[in-house]
Structure 1
Amino acid sequence: MYKRILVPIDLQQDDRARRLGLNRAVELCRFYHAKLFALTVVPDMGMPIVAHYFPEDAGDKIVAEAETMLHEMVDSYIPDDIEVQHLVAQGSIYRRILRMAEKVDADLIVMPAHRMKLQDYLLGSNTAKVVRHAPCSVLVVRCDNDDCYELYEQNG
């Protein structure tokens, strides 16, 4: 059913939260013999007036560092039997996830969900925006406490 699975990864997230989404994506890749697309999104410099205060090559350095971190993380957590492609995008998180899902023709996006904060209810989280606008199915892997992470690690 699924042949191309996109998993957005927040490199700033704690290790357990990253593994939650990755573990579920790996399970699905194995079950469906799907290809995994590991994506991380880094911020851009925004408006030109903001970019003016950074060195000219700052954006390239940020992307290069994110790519290195993504490769290291994928090498640590994704088994060798899973075909994986590394993707780094720059810009608005949910927009880049949606754009990359279309670009790689993903038929499933696997996203871990965090505890909701007040600003998420007012502005909407990236996960909620992806769910509303995705061109494909979205699996939201939710876990709200440490017990859930421990249980998933034992059973997952």
Structure 2
Amino acid sequence: MPRDIHKILCPLNLRHAELAHPAYGETLRQARWHGAEVILATVVPEMERNLNIHDSEAFWMDRLKKFLKENPAGDVAVRLLVRKGAPHRQIVKLAQSESIDMIVMESANPRIQDYLLGTTASHVVNHAPCTVMAVR
């Protein structure tokens, strides 16, 4: 029996927002199909590399709002979140704390070091408490 899907998490790497469209588009398609809410999130480093950014959470929230404005969700309810830390850990924690039913995220082609260390998507697939759809 299929699971009910009420909340879908779409984590975006806003440093590479132009690559996020396939996962975001699939998220909106799934949300419309299931009548689900979308949580659009980005995970930023604890220590910002750009020293000109004084409030990184506010800066990245503005970038998330800009992404949503440039890529409207139409009739889908969207909530925006910014988290600090390691993306692979924060995505799993967010899925747990928000009772997420599905995660839709990008999956890059692995490089040689990814086979040794693992990718963000592979960690999320192995540790998330919900269904994970990896989009290429």
TM-score, L = length of structure 2 = 0.90
- Aligned residue for 1:139, secondary structure, equals strand
Q: Which amino acid aligns with 2:104?
A: V
Name the residue aligned to 1:43. 45
Q: 1:52-63, aligned counterparts within 5 Å? A: 58=54, 61-63=55-57
Q: Does the 8 A contact of 1:26 with 1:78 survive in 2?
A: no
1:9 to 12, 31, 39: 12
User: Stretches of 4+ moved more than 6 A in 1?
Assistant: none
Q: Which amino acid aligns with 2:40?
A: A
1:14 Cα offset (Å) = 4.7
- Identity, in percent, stands at 31
Number of aligned residues: 131
Whole-angstrom CA distance in 2 between matches of 1:110 and 1:81: 18
Name the residue aligned to 2:104. 110
Q: Is 1:33 the equivalent of 2:27?
A: no
1:79 Cα offset (Å) = 2.3
- Aligned residue for 1:13, secondary structure, equals helix
1:99 to 93, 98, 101: 93
**Rg larger for:** 1
Name the residue aligned to 1:125. 119
Over 3 Å counting, the alpha-carbon distance change for 1:100 and 1:14 in structure 2 is: closer
1:72 to 66, 72, 75: 66
Aligned residues: CA RMSD: 1.7
Unaligned segments of structure 1, at least 5 residues: 47-53, 143-156
Unaligned segments of structure 2, at least 5 residues: none
